[in-house]
Chains A and B, each alone.
Chain A
Amino acid sequence: MTTVGKAPILELDNVSLRFGGVRAMTDVSCSVYPGELFSIIGPNGAGKTSTLNCISGRYRPTSGRIRHHGKDITGLGPRKRADLGIGRTFQNLALFSGMSVLDNILIGRHHLLKTGVARGMLYWIGGAQQEEVQHRAAVEEIIDFLEIQHIRNEHAGTLSYGLRKRVELARAIALKPELILLDEPMAGMNLEEKEDMARFIVDLNEEMGMTVVMIEHDMGVVMDLSHRLMVLDFGRKIAEGIPDDIKANEDVKRAYLGQDHGVMPTAEPSAEAVR
């Protein structure tokens, strides 16, 4: 993945986030380029999810700027960012549990649909039905892609954890994002589910051409998939670069393994090493 000559799709410029006395992020800067698979890693409480929340608009940075295609979006509300083509999934599931899987994914199309209340109520007259059918077709493609056909009519609240994560990904894809933010897409999954999810993420990036920003704890996955990584520790950026450089970085080893560093885990690390 070469980033030379491309304008970044997303830039964080000295972003700091404070909650009272707690410094969640301190002067974090980074750039994500179109077509990249960019990962953010770091020990617990390093500010990874806060970074994602700043990008998706849930938090407003205390200082610093966030730019999307060079345009300042620091003060933009979260729902406006959906229109800009920024989609995301959540660390702890945030599906609409009372709705069917199909409706959950259709919610992703919300900002693309035009039917208002009156046309919605009239349904057959005014084009609401055509629009629904048209977007349903698009949603079915996503369902096929993520292999969740068998659960499309199931209520989201009744699904297993791995499937819910997949439905959440489907909902984010339905948004037709240019930039997709994934917050721990593989947390709590078994090996098989992780492999499936990794395949989906690579396909998203390579086939659908989405720029992916991902937080993930599984070092094996992160190092294999990512084009570039950023490492956070205590709210500060301690490293940024391609996986090989990060593996060799002394600061990263120290952050993960303490002062007496050993070897940076390349495959499945033990829970203690990561957390």
Chain B
Amino acid sequence: MAGSMRPAGDFRTSYAADRTIFPTRGSWRMLLLGLLVLCILPLQFAGVTLVSSYWLALIIQIAIYAIAALGLNILVGFTGQISLGHAAFFGFGGFASAYLSGKLGVPVALAIPLAGLLTAMLGIIVGLPAARLKGLYLAIATLASQFVLQDFFGRAQWFTGGASGASAEAYSIFGISLSGDRKYFLVVLAHLIIMYLFAANLMRTRDGRAMVAVRDHYLSAEIMGINLTYYRILAFGISSLYAGVGGALMAHYTGFVSSEAFDLLLSINFLAMVIIGGLGSIMGSILGAIFIICLPEVMQSVVRLVQTLGIGQGAAFTEGLAYMKEMAIGLAIVLFLVFEPDGLAARWRKIKAYWKLYPFSY
């Protein structure tokens, strides 16, 4: 599979055309169709809803987590640095946006990107150890930042409201209120598209390439004139930017930010999204978010199916479900690491290749 699976006769006549994010006309059509469907999804026609509010809530969550997962993938997948503190940055973005809009009167539409930038700055400070640490040591250093920030959320009354949490205003832009799931979904979607394009653009230009070089062979990267320290810390900044924007969107979605939500388990979940989606794949981050959010739902429906079939009954079974959801994520990570280490993105590429070449296998 040499890079792309371009159909025969689809020739590139300029270097710009050879570096596009969506390489084939088919992928463009799919993209536009997909976006159109997503835009229509929350609409209601004369009382008929296309998507139940339950599923819409899930899709919003997927989109928000996908933004944060994109950032983590830039750090873990592209730059090769581990972080166990992503949830704390996600939380910081939420609190920052709530604070900016609630206490300082910044419009919410502006508070979200600002919160992202603030989180990026925090990420750069927290990422400073990355200049010296690698691998497990860096994992422990980021774990420390996770706990320090969590503690900060609990104590900083002025900023987070302490144990009682902070309330976040509803989204509005140019005086038009976009609150309520059906409108807010479009806000989240717009943010996801912009952040996706930012990530894709970054990875096809100078700094993105430098990050991958730092991951693959840092010694020769340095000989090539790449500043290792700068890119290691920059990766933390960018990943925090994404976490901050995601956290801010989540804050204005739920309208309330509580310090308990951003624990280590969420950090692990973000890592799971990135690993299952595909390390070093931008699209994979979104696939991973879909997988991790939908996994418990699938589990739930499996249990319901089993119950209607009359195999498993009783309270013990329903009780066990809560544990099974958490175990399923762990099991999924292990299975992916063993059978598809490059994640859903690689699987997707293989499926595409299969259909392109069908009925031949090569």
Contacts and interface: CB of A to CB of B under 8 A. Distances in A.
B216 A117 contact: no
Interface string A67-104: 00000000001110111000010100011111110010
Contacts of A95: 216-217, 220
A107 interface: yes
A96 B15 contact: no
Interface residues of B, number: 37
A261 interface: no
Contacts of B209: 99, 103, 106-107, 110
Nearest to A96: B216
Given A82-B223, A117-B202, A136 B19 contact: yes
Interface in A136-172: 136-137, 140, 151, 153-154, 171
B226 A128 contact: no
A79 B227 contact: yes
B205 A123 contact: yes
Contacts of A137: 15
Contacts of B216: 95-99
Given A97-B216, A115-B205, A132-B19, A82 B225 contact: yes
Interface string B231-264: 0001000100000000000000000000000000
B109 interface: no
A107 B210 contact: yes
A88 B198 contact: no
Contacts of A99: 209, 212-213, 216
Contact of A96 (B199, B201, B208, B217): B217
Counting chain A CB atoms within 10 Å of each CB, the highest count among B14, B15, B220 belongs to B220
B205 A108 contact: no
A259 to B, nearest CB: 39
Contacts of B202: 117, 120-121
Contact of B206 (A58, A98, A115, A171): A115
Contacts of A116: 206-207
Interface in B1-33: 2-4, 14-16, 18-19
A94 B215 CA distance: 12
Secondary structure of the A side of the interface? Answer: helix
Interface size class of A (residues with CB under 8 A): 35 or more
Contacts of B16: 129, 132-133
A199 interface: no
Contact of B224 (A121, A153, A154, A171): A171
A133 B201 contact: no
Contact of B4 (A79, A88, A103, A153): A153
Interface string B261-287: 000000000000000000010000000
A58 B223 CA distance: 8
A33 B26 CA distance: 56
B219 interface: yes
Contact of A117 (B15, B221, B222, B238): B238
B207 A117 contact: yes
A108 B223 CA distance: 10
A79 B238 contact: no
B350 interface: no
A246 B4 CA distance: 51
A94 B220 contact: yes
A110 B205 contact: no
A10 to B, nearest CB: 16
Given A96-B217, A136-B19, A103 B212 contact: yes
B198 A110 contact: no
Interface string B16-52: 1011000000000000000000000000000000000
B201 A123 contact: yes
Given A123-B197, A128-B206, A133-B14, 8 more contacts: A82-B224, A94-B219, A98-B212, A106-B209, A115-B207, A128-B205, A132-B205, A136-B19
Interface of B: 2-4, 14-16, 18-19, 197-199, 201-202, 204-210, 212-213, 215-217, 219-227, 234, 238, 280
22 contacts: A79-B224, A79-B225, A81-B223, A95-B216, A95-B220, A98-B280, A100-B3, A107-B213, A110-B213, A111-B224, A115-B207, A116-B207, A117-B202, A120-B207, A121-B198, A123-B197, A123-B205, A131-B206, A136-B15, A136-B18, A151-B2, A153-B3
